[in-house]
Structures are given as C-alpha cells and as structure tokens.
Structure 1
Amino acid sequence: MPRQSRIDAPGALHHIIVRGIERRKIFLDGQDRHNFLDRLGATVEGIETICYTWALIPNHFHLLLRGPASSPSPP
C-alpha cells in the first residue's frame, strides 16, 4: 500500500526513494544510468528544483530535492 501524500510547502526539502518491484533492477547498465541523469537534470531545471544529491543503485535510487521557494502562479 502506498504512503499517504506528505505536506508540500514551497522550498521544502524532499528525500525521494524509488525501488524496483520485487527488488528487480531499474538500471541495466552505465548508459541507462547516464540517460536517467540527463533526463533528471532537464526535469529539475524545467521546474526550478535543486537536486542536492543522488544515489543510483541497480534496483533503486535516492534523490534529495528542494522545490522552488514560491508556488507557481496559475495560468
């Protein structure tokens, strides 16, 4: 059962953990990890989020992220 949503305040620090189902690998090789980091970098830049650190393990990863200091304005 997934956890309930946590409170998300502007500028909050978040520890993100993603695990493979049944401890299966989510990164197959070095190229796969580099591809993930490229996409992660583009994503955090696009949403004005800071990624302080990451750990990529074959069957899971950890991210330490801080979102923008203010909430985006509605369109």
Structure 2
Amino acid sequence: MYFESFEALLNMSGHGVYVWSSLAVTLAAMLWLVIAPLFKQRALLQEVNRDIQRQQDRERAAKTASLSDSHEESN
C-alpha cells in the first residue's frame, strides 16, 4: 500500500486539503451535470401535460357550447 495509514492518505504530505477539495468539487460538478437535466425534463413534462389538459378543456368547452347552441336553435 502506498500510504502507511488512513490518516496519511487523508493528509497526503500536506496536500490532502487541495486534493480532496478538488475531488469534491469535481464530483459535485459531475453530479450536477446528471441531475440538472433530469429536473428540467420533469418541469418540461409537467408543462406539456398542463398544455394538453388546457387544450382538452378548451375542446370540451367548445363541444359543450356547440351542443347547447344547437339545442337552443331546435327549440
């Protein structure tokens, strides 16, 4: 093994702070590159679902209005 103990691994002859902080920043950036698009995709899918629901509501309202107009004309 390269290091005599776990403490020596963490310390790395005084360079451990720089090594481990750069590793943490790199892992955080990589994690963000995976997670951010997932959140954006979820938001986009919710927006599309809302648009579809609005369109269906409009079509339903137009159909109801058309049926009530035709019913009034026949009376």
Q: TM-score, normalised by structure 1?
A: 0.27
Q: Which has the higher contact order (CA 8 A, sep 6+)?
A: 1
Look at both structures and tell me which one has the larger radius of gyration over its CA atoms: 2
TM superposition score normalised by structure 2: 0.27
Higher share of residues assigned helix: 2
